[in-house]
A and B are shown apart, each in its own frame.
Chain A
Amino acid sequence: MTLAKMNSAVENSFSTDNVDHLEQQGLPRLLEVLHTCDWTSSTNEDDESIGSLQDCELEFELKAFGDDPQQEDKEIGSEHDVEYMERMMAMLLNARGSITTASYLANFIQKWGRIWESMRGKSLHVAQWKELPRCLETRNYWKFMLSRHEELNHISYN
C-alpha cells in the first residue's frame, strides 16, 4: 500500500460517514448497562443531618407564625421528613440571591419536593403545592416554605 493510500484509509476511518464504530447498540445496550448497575446498595439516609435552620432571618420569620393550638393535638412527624425539608430549605436559602422569577422558584419547589418525597417512598402531606401560586402572588413564598416546615414537626401520615 502506498503512503497516499494509507493516508486516505486513515482519513476515511474518521470521516463523518463512518462513525458507527463509536456507537453502542441502542436500547438493548442501555438496558444492559442498567441491569449491571448496583441496585442493592442502600443510600446514606442515616448519615448525619446538615443541621437545623440557623439563619437569623428565618428565626425571625418563624416567630411571626406563632403557635397553633390545633397542631398540638397532631402526632409528631418523622425526623427524616423534617431533615429532607430542611435540606430543601437550605438549598433555597443558598440560591435565593439568584432566584429572580416566581416560575423558577415554583419549579424548584416542585422538583425537589418530589425528589425528597420519592426518596422517602411516600408523599409528604405538607406538600400541598397547589397553594404555591397564591403564595407567590403575594410574595410570601418564604413564609409558605416556613409554614410547611412548621407543619412537618406536627403532622401525622396515613
Chain B
Amino acid sequence: METTKSKKKILIVGRPKSGKLSLVKALTSSLPPGLTDESTPHSGLIHSITLTTRYFSTEAGIWVDEIPEDSDLWLDEYLSEEAMPVLQSLAAIMLTVAPGQPSAEKDIKILRKLNARGDEVEWDATTLVIGRKSPNSDAYSSLLSLCDEHTLEFINLNDSGENEFGGRK
C-alpha cells in the first residue's frame, strides 16, 4: 500500500521534563532529528510517524513544542489570527504532564483554550493528555480528576493493552 504524506500534524506540547521526547520515542521508536545534546531546545523539533491501517497508510508530521514559564505569551502565539492555519493543520494536540508538576492545572487549562480556539476556526482535532502513572498516587489521582473535570482523555503511557489496529507499534 502506498504511503501518502498527510498535511495534518500532531502537536506535542508540555513543560520541560514532562515527557515530550519520551512520547515521540514511544510513537516513532526514534528521537527527532536535530536533537544533538541535552541542551537542545525542544521547541520546534519536528518528526514524523507513519500510520497504517488496512485502508490507508499515511505519514503525518509531529511538531514538538515546550510550554515556557511565561505560558501566557506562548499561548497568545497559538491563539493569534496569524497562527490560525497552524491550528487548522493539526489532527491532534497531545499535552504531556508529569503527575505532581505544579503547572499541571494551568497546562490543562491551556489545552482547553487551544481546544476552544480550535472550535472557533472549524477545527476538528483530538486533544489528549499524556502522562505516566506516578508513585505519588495523590498527585496522579489529582491529575486524573483534573482531566475528568475538563473532559479531557488521559492516557497513561505505562499502561499496556492492545488496540484494533494491531496493538503496539
Contact = CB atoms under 8 A, between A and B. Distances in A.
Interface of A: 16-17, 19, 22-35, 37-45, 47, 50, 87-88, 90-91, 94-95, 98, 104, 107-108, 110-115, 118-119, 121
Given A19-B137, A95-B76, A107 B43 contact: yes
A118 to B, nearest CB: 6
Interface residues of B, number: 68
Given A39-B51, A104-B73, 5 more contacts: A30-B157, A33-B128, A34-B49, A44-B85, A104-B70
A113 B27 CA distance: 24
Contact of A43 (B43, B89, B144, B167): B89
Nearest to A129: B44
Task: Report the 10 A-B pairs with minimum CB-CB distance, sorted nearest first.
Answer: A25-B161, A111-B44, A26-B159, A32-B163, A28-B163, A37-B91, A87-B82, A43-B89, A39-B6, A16-B141
B157 A91 contact: no
29 contacts: A16-B138, A19-B140, A19-B144, A23-B133, A24-B154, A24-B159, A26-B161, A27-B26, A29-B159, A30-B94, A30-B128, A30-B155, A31-B165, A31-B168, A33-B126, A35-B163, A35-B165, A37-B126, A39-B8, A41-B124, A43-B7, A50-B81, A87-B83, A91-B80, A91-B83, A104-B73, A107-B41, A107-B68, A111-B44
B119 interface: no
Given A95-B77, A115-B44, A25 B165 contact: no
